[in-house]
Amino acid sequence: MCGIAGIIGDFEIHQLDAMLLSQHHRGPDATGKYNDGDFASLGHNRLAIIDLSPQSNQPFLDPSGRYVLVFNGEIYNYIEIKAELDGHYTFKTDSDTEVLLAAFIIYGNQCLQKLNGMFSFAIWDNQDKKLFAARDRFGVKPFFYSFKNNSFYFSSEIKAIHAAGISRIPNEKVWASYFAYGSYGNPDETFWEDILQLPGGYFLSFTLPLDKLGTGLVGGVLRQAQSDIVRQAQSDIVRQVQSDLTIEKWYFFEEEVAKQPKNLTFEQAKEHYVTLLKDSIDLRFRADVPVGFNISGGLDSSVLLALVNNNNNNSSINAYTFYSDNLAYDELPWVEMMVAKTKNTLSKVLLRADKVPDFAKKMEAQQDEPYGGIPTLAYAKIFEQARKDEVLVLLDGQGMDEQWAGYDYYTQENDATIQGMTDSPFKKNMLSPAFLEKAEKPIYPKPFSDVILNKQYRDLFYTKIPRALRFNDRISMLFSTELREPFLDYRLVEFAFSLPLEFKIRNGQTKFMLREIAAEYLANDLVFAPKRPLQTPQREWLAEDLSKWVNECFTTIEKSKYGGWFDKDALQKELQVYFEEDRQSSFHIWQCISLYEMIQNINEK
């Protein structure tokens, strides 16, 4: 798990230095640079997880010196791929980094189909002056880029591109859509002008346009072209973005779902899924540093806890959970019930209300974009503690609800994307008419004939999973730790997604097959515990304990140059209604806090 950065085209070396410094937290163990004359400069911040030796530091060159790799993530099945490459490549390290580079040299872009992992990487061919970059299937690891000032910039974090000199200008369309519809942008968008992201399951190829530098028009052409590609995500056609760069989809989820075994009985499907699940967990224990895992009182992480110990005899491995000291929200009783059986060491990390303002400021500076509120802060405390304990890899239970139709809104006739909500949490009336006009209601593809499958697809590729992965990548990296999500192994997701609805929902009970699997390891009060959508007292804290700070946030927004985004009377009215009457949702309050933190960060820089 690391940070990557690079500039292709016109650049000054101090720009790459600034990029690497800005994301040093992603890889404090080693920092490396590679320069190909005036053509390209690549950099890497390393967090050493597999093969801790300096020989595996990056940028990593193949024996010929032609290919240069910077890589963020882990290839979990690197041992199997390495065995397949035996006789085709002579290895000098035990790292998954070298396996990835060798696989690319031997197989070209088809190597992506062989990878089971989370990854974002770039390979520079210094002979043909060509860059190849790719992102994993679900976009676990980030890849941001910008085409500006006659150069192509890429990095693992937005702040690194800003550090290179790209101006911090908010993308008002994305911000307006966030306030009006709760959207965090399309898969190619960010909250910042001139900065895009490569969607999960895509790769790009860029050949240095030696005779075309200085056109000044490439950025706008690139932005529109990629947007067109993403909006036609079902197409396998390669689009020529401009004469020197192409973006291509390499992971076709719908096709992979169609290839899954058909007509299995319930027991056959359950047996197959358990086999895949155990293998996924085993693969994610491959590390040369200590591994722990996160646990809540929910079904998913409880299954993870049970299988970690059953499959690996790992009762000595640390378990982590957070709490807020509020019995109405804390899941400690369920967590302690589980851990009492497995005998894992449990680290309980506390987030108090009075720590939120300072921590929120630190988190916004790390996230670069709006994030998931106080639950994200509480979750971040886990990684802070794990780093202190020198546990550098943590496993998490993310991804089960999306593959097993676990949210209540899957069976409701609406377009809701938030568990447990009956009324819309979005307050369009707070926005000025001019700003609201910039908002675009998100429209998601519906590639399946089944309504519930389309909702699951939306959550996997456009809403729930992309947001959670972004939040979680940044909070784990803030504390120089690695997060692995075994339930997002593509084999599990594809297989579970393909199963009949009656295997997922039965007699009103969601995640039915998963509960049947869990019953073999867990007590019934855990297997059939209702899903709890709220994990922290965010609503109460913002209205009571933190009301002074919330007022300050709103006042600062009104006085800032972004005050024009709002109808100020409506903004104040919504705040007072929240304080005095209606606290069903605090999402609109947190949206304003996110904007406040962005304003503070821009002003400080």
Query: pLDDT tens digit string along 509-518?
Result: 889 999 899 8
Residues 244 and 328 in one domain: no
- Better-scored residue on pLDDT, 328 or 472: 472
Residue 422 is predicted with a pLDDT of 60
Residues 212 and 347 in one domain: no
- Better-scored residue on pLDDT, 524 or 340: 340
Segment 195-224 shows an average pLDDT of 69
Using CA atoms, how far apart are residues 475 and 280, in angstroms rounded to an integer?
Answer: 23
pLDDT(238) > 70: no
Segment 401-419 shows an average pLDDT of 81
pLDDT(589) > 60: yes
Residues 245 and 268 in one domain: no
Residues 237 and 315 in one domain: no
Among the candidates 251, 280, 308, a domain finishes at 251
Segment 330-358 shows an average pLDDT of 90
Angle formed by the axes of helices 587-604 and 547-559, nearest 10°: 60
CA-based nearest residue to 35, from 107, 108, 126 = 126
Q: What pLDDT band is residue 242 in, cutting at 50, 70 and 90? A: very low
Transcribe 49-109 into DSSP letters: -SS-SGGG-SSEE-TTS-EEEEEEEEETTHHHHHHHTBTTB---SS-HHHHHHHHHHHHGG
Residue 506 lies in a domain: yes
Residue 318 lies in a domain: yes
Residues 476 and 552 in one domain: no
Residues 176 and 231 in one domain: yes
Residues 61 and 160 in one domain: yes
Tell me which residue range forms the domain holding 493. Answer: 260-417+463-527
Using CA atoms, how far apart are residues 54 and 204, in angstroms rounded to an integer?
Answer: 29
CATH number of the domain where residue 166 is located: 3.60.20.10
Segment 71-82 shows an average pLDDT of 98
Residue 379 lies in a domain: yes
Residue pLDDT, tens place only, 494-511:
999 999 999 999 888 889
Residue 429 lies in a domain: no
Q: What pLDDT band is residue 211 in, cutting at 50, 70 and 90? A: low
Tell me the CB-side half-sphere exposure of residue 169, using CA atoms within 13 A: 8
Residue pLDDT, tens place only, 451-494:
999 999 999 999 999 999 999 999 999 999 999 999 999 999 99
Residue 427 lies in a domain: no
Among the candidates 231, 251, 271, a domain finishes at 251
* Catalytic residue set: 2
Q: How many domains does the chain have?
A: 3
CATH number of the domain where residue 396 is located: 3.40.50.620
Residue 420 is predicted with a pLDDT of 56
pLDDT(382) > 60: yes
pLDDT(421) > 90: no
Residue 438 lies in a domain: no
Residue pLDDT, tens place only, 1-38:
699 999 999 899 999 999 999 999 999 999 999 999 98
Residue 114 lies in a domain: yes
In the chain, pLDDT over 90 holds for what percent of residues?
Answer: 75
Residues 239 and 176 in one domain: yes
Residue 510 is predicted with a pLDDT of 87
Segment 417-430 shows an average pLDDT of 77
Residues 408 and 346 in one domain: yes
Residues 247 and 342 in one domain: no
Residue 96 annotated as lining a ligand binding site: yes
33 DSSP assignment: E
Q: Contact at 8 Å (CB) between 257 and 498?
A: yes
Lowest mean pLDDT among 28-37, 237-246, 290-299, 518-527: 237-246
pLDDT(428) > 50: yes
Q: Contact at 8 Å (CB) between 31 and 48?
A: no
Among the candidates 251, 285, 316, a domain finishes at 251
Residues 24 and 47 in one domain: yes
At residue 142, φ and ψ (nearest 5 deg) are -85, 155
42 DSSP assignment: E
Q: What pLDDT band is residue 566 in, cutting at 50, 70 and 90? A: very high
pLDDT(553) > 80: yes
Residue 422 lies in a domain: no
Residues 223 and 307 in one domain: no
